[in-house]
Amino acid sequence: MPEHFLLDCEPVPFTPGQSVMAAAHAAGRYIPHLCWLPELTPHGACRLCTVRIGPHLAAACTTPAAAGMMVESQTAELIAQRRTMLQLLFVEGNHFCPSCERSGSCALQATAYAMGMLEPHFDPFYPERAVDASHPDMLLDFNRCILCALCVRASRELDGKNVFALAGRGLATRLVVDSASGRLADTAFSASDRAAQVCPVGALVPKRVGFARPIGQRVYDLHPIDEARSGDDDVAGPGGEALAR
C-alpha cells in the first residue's frame, strides 16, 4: 500500500523520495508551476508552486512528500500570491500574447488564465533585450525569457551539452549561451535537443513553423493547463504539440 499525504483535503499517494509536486502530478492533481519538469532536477525558480504545509510555506517541487502531511495549494491567499507573481513576470519581459506564435501553447499565458489574471496590474518595464536569430533552425528571444532554467537543466542533464546558463545576480540575471560570440549558432545546440522543446514561453521557438496550428486547436485551447492529467504534459513543444513526458 503506498503512503499518502493530503492535498487540499484529498489523499495523494507517493513513493519514498517523491516531491509533493511529483506525487501530485502523477496523481493528476494540478499545482501551478513554470520551472518544473519530472525528468529534470528541481530548481525552485518560479515559486508558483509554493504551498502551505501546516504553518509554513514551501516549494512543492523541492519538498519531499511525507505520510500524513497536510498540504494546501488552492487557498485564496496562495492564488492571490501566484497571480501577483505572474503579473510581475509579464511586465518584466515583453509578453504580447496576441502577436506571439506561442499564444495558446504558452504555459505562462495558460497559467495566468488559470489564476484569473486578466490585466498586467504593474507598469511594464519594456526591456530592450537581444533577439538571436543566428541559429539556422531556432530563434532565441531574450525579451521573453522568464529565467526558469528549464533549457539550462535540459541541456546539461538530458542533452549533455551545457549550451545554456544563467549569469548575473538579481535584476541583472540573464540567460547566456556557451560561445565566445554569445551567438546560439556558435554552440553545439540542435533543434532536436530536449532543451529546444522545454521553454514554457516564446523565448526559444523553431523557425519556419510559426502559427502553424490555428487558434482554437492549440494545446491549451483544447485542455486548460489546470486540467492536470496523470502523465500529460503542460509544456507545449516547438510546433505547439504536446510533448510526452
C-alpha cell at 176: 547566456
Asked if residue 120 and residue 147 are part of one domain, the reply reads yes
Asked if residue 210 and residue 97 are part of one domain, the reply reads yes
Q: Strands 10-14 and 3-7: what pairing?
A: antiparallel
Predicted confidence at residue 126, as pLDDT, reads: 86
Predicted confidence at residue 233, as pLDDT, reads: 47
Asked if residue 94 and residue 47 are part of one domain, the reply reads no
Domain carrying residue 38: 3-74
Residue 241, pLDDT > 50, answer no
Domain boundary among 19, 49, 74: 74
Asked if residue 154 and residue 97 are part of one domain, the reply reads yes
Contact 138, 198 (CB under 8 A): no
Count of domains forming the chain: 2
Asked if residue 51 and residue 116 are part of one domain, the reply reads no
Predicted confidence at residue 64, as pLDDT, reads: 98
Q: Write the pLDDT tens digit of every residue in 107-159.
A: 999 999 999 998 888 998 888 899 999 999 999 999 999 999 999 999 999 99
Q: Write the pLDDT tens digit of every residue in 19-58.
A: 999 999 999 999 999 999 999 999 999 999 999 999 999 9
- Domain of residue 27, CATH code: 3.10.20.740
3-state secondary structure of 22: helix
Comparing 229 with 69, which gets the higher pLDDT?
A: 69
Of 62, 99, 86, the closest CA to residue 210 belongs to 99
CA pair distance 234, 78, nearest whole angstrom? 20
